[in-house]
Amino acid sequence: MGQASMDARTEHFDTAVAASSKALSPGQIRLVLIALAMGGFAIGTSEFAAMSLLPYFAATFGITEPTAGHAISAYALGVVVGAPVIAVLAAKWPRRKLLLALMACFAVANVLTACSPTYGMMVAFRFLSGLPHGAYFGVAMLVAASLVPPNARAQAASRVLIGLTIATIIGVPAATWMGQVLGWRVGFGIVGLLASLTIFLVWTFVPADRPVEGASMMRELGALKRPQVWLTLAIGAIGFGGMFAVYSYLASTLMEVTHVEPYVVPIVLVFFGLGMTIGTFVCAWLADRALMATAGGLLVWSAIWLTVYPFATGNIYAVTAVVFMIGCGGGLGVALQTRLMDVAEDAQTLAASLNHSAFNTANAIGPWLGGLAIAHGFGWSSTGFVGAALAIGGLLFWAISLATDSNTREAASELRSQPAPGE
């Protein structure tokens, strides 16, 4: 696919987002991005705090920690199911209205999680909490990208994800600490309050819009016909699983292997969040310049540091440094989101939402495989080797995507070089 093809992709993207874009001042754009990022902060706090609070709700319900990990997988399954279903059914909705509805559902589901009387009900409420996740991020990133020139889309999308990464620095450690002191239910209750704040900010600062012109269920479903969409999703679904394999059991590993006191766990989580934040900023800048090279480099980076992780868990300083490095690999999300904007053409909403289905497929696969390794006696640290294998699997799909795209580009170049009939 040459420059003409890329221009066509950008044209499809511009057409898809035009309805949500208005002439806003730089200050207004910043307020919109802050409002959207607050939703990412609420979602990130809920998603990652559930992992760090896992030992505590496992104790409450009298179950093993690998079994408690099913609540994490239930949330991920909710994202996987909810993102495409909501994106298709709400294709004709104005994006601001959809964002408000999604965050309202997220708030209610997290409050219900906090009130769960049984583990089975908690799993059900975590599934419901996951339903709005992917659609919110997908729509929010499209709104953010519509406010900037095409060559700054990755950086605009990263501002929404920054809410999630800052959650890993502030929200998750705070929820973890409160969970340790006041009980794990408080952590999910706080998420309900954060989601309510997001509703207020989106209502106040995100401009009202009309449905995207020509939007329909069938047009969105057209994204599923494109092989590059599926390959991009596979990169995230497999490659991102490595980070989740480690993070899901990080709190338990720190206490059981590194032998730290519980108060140290939130500190290590802060370093993971710092890594994600720095990685997201840097990778967004790189992705706007060399998109696929950035994605491939991040997968190699993750594979290396996930392999190092098991050897670092015996020392608190070493494991903290490695956890920071693993967190930097979180910038992969921005690169793949931008890639989907390129390959989805006029089915932007579904493709953008499916990106988070892919990541939460990773969030289901990673903890599941990590839990299997632990349950079979390989130890808490073995999640690093599981994660490295998943990162390498993602790299394989990246290579297939790149090779397929290169073949298409070469074929198009040869076609353009052929003389026209009669010449």
Residue 410 is predicted with a pLDDT of: 45
Residue 223 is predicted with a pLDDT of: 66
Residue 383 is predicted with a pLDDT of: 94
- Give 333-385 pLDDT, tens digit per residue: 888 888 887 787 766 777 777 887 788 788 778 988 998 999 888 999 999 99
Task: With a cut of 90, say whether residue 25 has pLDDT above it.
Answer: no
User: Lowest mean pLDDT: which of 107-121, 204-218, 396-410?
Assistant: 204-218
The two tokens of residue 218 are 């069938």
Range of the domain at 162: 3-417
Q: Give alpha helix (H) positions in 183-249.
A: 184-205, 217-221, 227-239, 241-247
Average pLDDT for 175-181: 81
Q: What pTM, to 2 d.p., does this model score?
A: 0.74
Q: What is the mean pLDDT of the chain?
A: 83
Residue 321 is predicted with a pLDDT of: 96
- Decide if 214 is inside a domain: yes
Residue 194 is predicted with a pLDDT of: 94
Task: With a cut of 60, say whether residue 11 has pLDDT above it.
Answer: no
User: Lowest mean pLDDT: which of 118-132, 134-148, 364-378?
Assistant: 134-148
- Of 106, 270, 115, the C-alpha closest to 177 is 270
Q: Measured between alpha carbons, how far is 359 from 200 in angstroms, rounded to an integer?
A: 27
Residue 136: pLDDT band (50, 70, 90) is very high
Q: Answer left, alpha or beta for residue 337, where phi above 0 means left and psi between -120 and 50 means alpha.
A: alpha
- Decide if 351 is inside a domain: yes
Residue 396 is predicted with a pLDDT of: 96
Residue 131 is predicted with a pLDDT of: 92
Q: Measured between alpha carbons, how far is 38 from 103 in angstroms, rounded to an integer?
A: 11
Structural domains counted in the chain: 1
Q: Which of 53-57, 67-71, 222-226, 370-374 has the highest mean pLDDT?
A: 370-374
Indicate if the alpha-carbon torsion angle 57, 60, 66, 70 is positive or negative. negative
- Decide if 423 is inside a domain: no
- Decide if 422 is inside a domain: no
Q: Is 51 helix (H, G, I), strand (E, B) or coil?
A: helix
Average pLDDT for 45-67: 83
The CA–CA distances, whole Å, from 345 to 56, 331, 354 equal: 45, 23, 14
Q: Measured between alpha carbons, how far is 375 from 377 in angstroms, rounded to an integer?
A: 5
Residue 384 is predicted with a pLDDT of: 94
What CATH number does residue 211 fall under? Answer: 1.20.1250.20
- Give 58-75 pLDDT, tens digit per residue: 888 888 877 888 888 888
Residue 406: pLDDT band (50, 70, 90) is low
Q: Measured between alpha carbons, how far is 179 from 60 in angstroms, rounded to an integer?
A: 12
- Give 76-85 pLDDT, tens digit per residue: 888 888 888 8
Q: Is 162 helix (H, G, I), strand (E, B) or coil?
A: helix
- Decide if 306 is inside a domain: yes
Q: Which of 144-158, 352-366, 403-417 has the highest mean pLDDT?
A: 352-366
Residue 386: pLDDT band (50, 70, 90) is very high
Average pLDDT for 240-244: 89
Residue 229: count of CB within 10 angstroms of its CB: 22
DSSP string, 359-419: HHHHHHHHHHHHHHHHHTTS-GGGHHHHHHHHHHHHHHHHHHHHHHHHHHHHHHHHHHHSP
Task: With a cut of 50, say whether residue 412 has pLDDT above it.
Answer: no
Average pLDDT for 153-167: 81
Residue 8 is predicted with a pLDDT of: 45
Residue 70 is predicted with a pLDDT of: 84
Average pLDDT for 185-207: 92
Half-sphere exposure (Cβ direction) of 165: Cα atoms closer than 13 Å: 26
The two tokens of residue 95 are 């994006």
The two tokens of residue 203 are 């209502």
Helix 26-52 with 65-89: angle, nearest 10 deg: 150
